[in-house]
Structure 1
Amino acid sequence: MNWNDLKYFLALAREGTISGAGRLLNVKHTTVARRIEALEISLGTRLFDKSRSGYSMTQAAENLYQQVVSMEEKVHTINRQAANQDSALAGPLKLTIAFELANRLIIPKMEKFCERFPDIDMQLLMTKSLVDLAAMEADLAIRMTPSPPDYLVGHEIMKLHHGIYASQEHLHYRPKKTKVVLFQSENKRTDWVKKYAGDSEVSLRVDDVGSMAVAAANGFGLAKLPCFIGDTQPGLVRLDFKIPPSDWGIWILNHVELRTTARVRACKEHLVSVLESQRDLITGNLSNFASDRTD
């Protein structure tokens, strides 16, 4: 069996559609169909039944599935171990990181690293979905999380701190009802809203913390933001409310088998230094408070 064909088998088994498997593997759906057909011919058996809702595994495919998953993990292990033996400060290095962390804290401080190690091909993967470090989709991750998965190694740099922010315009021309900006998933009566915004109304809901900061800066109302975002967003001031530190922290993580790779180690040390140099910003010790209150 060809391992490359087996990758297509796993993708279709997991996604359930030819188009979904194609997106997962970044290939055309016709390529997926062709490789599945080749695998079925090679094995001499049908692996999928097609219906209106998609593709479902036959009994033969179900018998094969766990063995192929085991093979996939062995391939990933071989790749990680090979990468771990690389002692050169050269080659590709993929860092997965949230947009706002990258744009406000990391990218402005990465030029020195790239100048010092010109042979390292630095690549930033900024996405809302979690990139799989176990599958070698990235070498390093900076994540905002309460606790990372056990198969990753690293450490928490510091806890996130939040504040309540508003624009000067909103504070000056205060509406009859305090307005707030919330995430789509938040209930209107969150703890901070009940405590600091009184009988408020939701002016806007968003699914991204950067958009929340921009909305608040443009007069949509109060927003609870990480200090490193609120204090760097033009047009926002932090109200003099005491918000306890979050359970979430900023973590730098990598797979356990990549801990001694030279380029990973060098980048990890640089990132720790970059974040430590901005500790006051992240922990909220740099802002000029607005004394104006809303309740």
Structure 2
Amino acid sequence: MVAATQYKIGYADLEVVLALVRAGTLAQAGERLSLDASTVFRTVQRIEKGLAERLFERSRSGYVPSELARELAARAEQMEAQLEAARSAVQGSPEQVSGTVRISTTDTVLHGLVAPALLQLQTSHPLLTYELHTGNELANLTRRDADIAVRATKRPPQHLVGKHVGPIRVALFGPKQGGLASFDGDVAARARWVAPDDALPEHPSVLWRKKHFPKVAPAYRVNSILTVAELVGRGLGIGVLPLFLANRRCDLVQLSEVLDECQTELWLLTHMESKHLRRVAAVFSHLSRNLLLD
């Protein structure tokens, strides 16, 4: 056994540890590093043998890092930031930022807010590329599979840093060609509803409808708010939608006042370790100024 004090850990070792801490599985870590899973596995084994200490606990769900692995990953992130700064310095223009930024959000927020903002960013930072993940969970950011998250929540996780963008206001909408000009209990009983009941059972719009119109059964159950907007716009029914999405469409008409019970908050979130990366900081700063809810 090689004594831990004799093992000289290098940046390549730290890259592997960081990738596995972020990804949680050999396959995903290998994908990040352009290596196969077996190579990542052998590298981790070699590092652990050299350090005479276990870095990861293997479980059915993946690889759980030890305190030492997390410390090594934090050091690797600092080196990653320094390396990125050095690369930027040789580009000739300090204002130019390059690299890939991974953004996690929902499809609704992506299409309604993030994509228009990224379009504006192409001019100032044309060398940036993006990986865009849509889903309703924060797990991918928590495990550092993303650099930035744009999320609707009233209570963002305490281990993340970010900016409160503003309130997400919603109202009931129908198709512009549907003939509805107002909404009441009788209309609710007759109307065909489009709602994300099964996919988002705790969504504020679902809870509001079940509270005020408990006998209504949606004619269309879908897996996202964006799909609600698409189906309502096509005349298939009525649905609760955020104003930032619905008011930019010409095929929808607002049927109700703003539903205060359904209001939530939009947050722009990242890790403290990621915020100092120039590529992440550039995108985070731009989004903080250009995510327009009204």
Q: TM-score, normalised by structure 1?
A: 0.65
Q: Equivalent residue for 1:89?
A: 95
Check if 1:178 corresponds to 2:191.
yes
Q: Equivalent residue for 2:4?
A: none
Q: Output one character per residue of 1:74-100: Cα deviation in whole Å (capped at 9) or x when no partner.
A: 323443466578673232251514233
Checking the alignment, whether the CA contact within 8 Å between 1:177 and 1:201 is kept in structure 2 is no
- For 1:190, the aligned partner's letter is L
Q: For 2:113, what is the secondary structure of its paired residue?
A: helix
| Distance of 2:293 and 2:53 partners within structure 1 | 60
Q: Equivalent residue for 2:226?
A: 210
Q: Equivalent residue for 1:114?
A: 122
Q: For 1:126, what is the secondary structure of its paired residue?
A: strand
**% identical equivalent positions:** 19
Structure 2 residue ranges without an equivalent (≥5): 1-6, 181-186
| Distance of 1:261 and 1:54 partners within structure 2 | 32
Check if 1:147 corresponds to 2:151.
no
| Distance of 1:141 and 1:35 partners within structure 2 | 31
Q: Equivalent residue for 2:169?
A: 161
Aligned residues between the structures: 262
| Distance of 2:62 and 2:276 partners within structure 1 | 42
Structure 1 residue ranges without an equivalent (≥5): 281-295
| Distance of 2:278 and 2:167 partners within structure 1 | 28
Q: Output one character per residue of 1:90-119: Cα deviation in whole Å (capped at 9) or x when no partner.
A: 32251514233232223334444322334x
- For 2:74, the aligned partner's letter is E
| Distance of 1:151 and 1:113 partners within structure 2 | 28
- For 2:208, the aligned partner's letter is D
Cα RMSD (Å): 4.5
| Distance of 1:265 and 1:257 partners within structure 2 | 11
Q: For 2:99, what is the secondary structure of its paired residue?
A: strand
Distance change >3 Å, CA 205–CA 54, structure 1 → 2: same
| Distance of 1:264 and 1:43 partners within structure 2 | 32
How far does residue 162 in structure 1 lie from its aligned partner after superposition?
0.7
| Distance of 2:114 and 2:18 partners within structure 1 | 38
Q: Output one character per residue of 1:46-101: Cα deviation in whole Å (capped at 9) or x when no partner.
A: 99999xx96999xxxx9x94433332233234434665786732322515142332
| Distance of 1:115 and 1:73 partners within structure 2 | 33
Q: Equivalent residue for 1:291?
A: none
Q: Equivalent residue for 1:21?
A: 26
- For 2:169, the aligned partner's letter is H
How far does residue 214 in structure 1 lie from its aligned partner after superposition?
1.7
Q: Output one character per residue of 1:160-185: Cα deviation in whole Å (capped at 9) or x when no partner.
A: 0011122246556x897433223214
- For 1:121, the aligned partner's letter is L
Aligned positions of 1:219-238 closer than 5 A: 219-233=235-249, 235-238=251-254
Distance change >3 Å, CA 231–CA 155, structure 1 → 2: same
Q: Output one character per residue of 1:194-234: Cα deviation in whole Å (capped at 9) or x when no partner.
A: 42x46311222222221222233334433222112222345
Distance change >3 Å, CA 136–CA 76, structure 1 → 2: farther
Check if 1:271 corresponds to 2:277.
no
Distance change >3 Å, CA 261–CA 42, structure 1 → 2: closer
Checking the alignment, whether the CA contact within 8 Å between 2:84 and 2:277 is kept in structure 1 is yes
How far does residue 153 in structure 1 lie from its aligned partner after superposition?
3.2
Checking the alignment, whether the CA contact within 8 Å between 2:176 and 2:253 is kept in structure 1 is yes
Distance change >3 Å, CA 95–CA 127, structure 1 → 2: same
Checking the alignment, whether the CA contact within 8 Å between 1:80 and 1:136 is kept in structure 2 is no
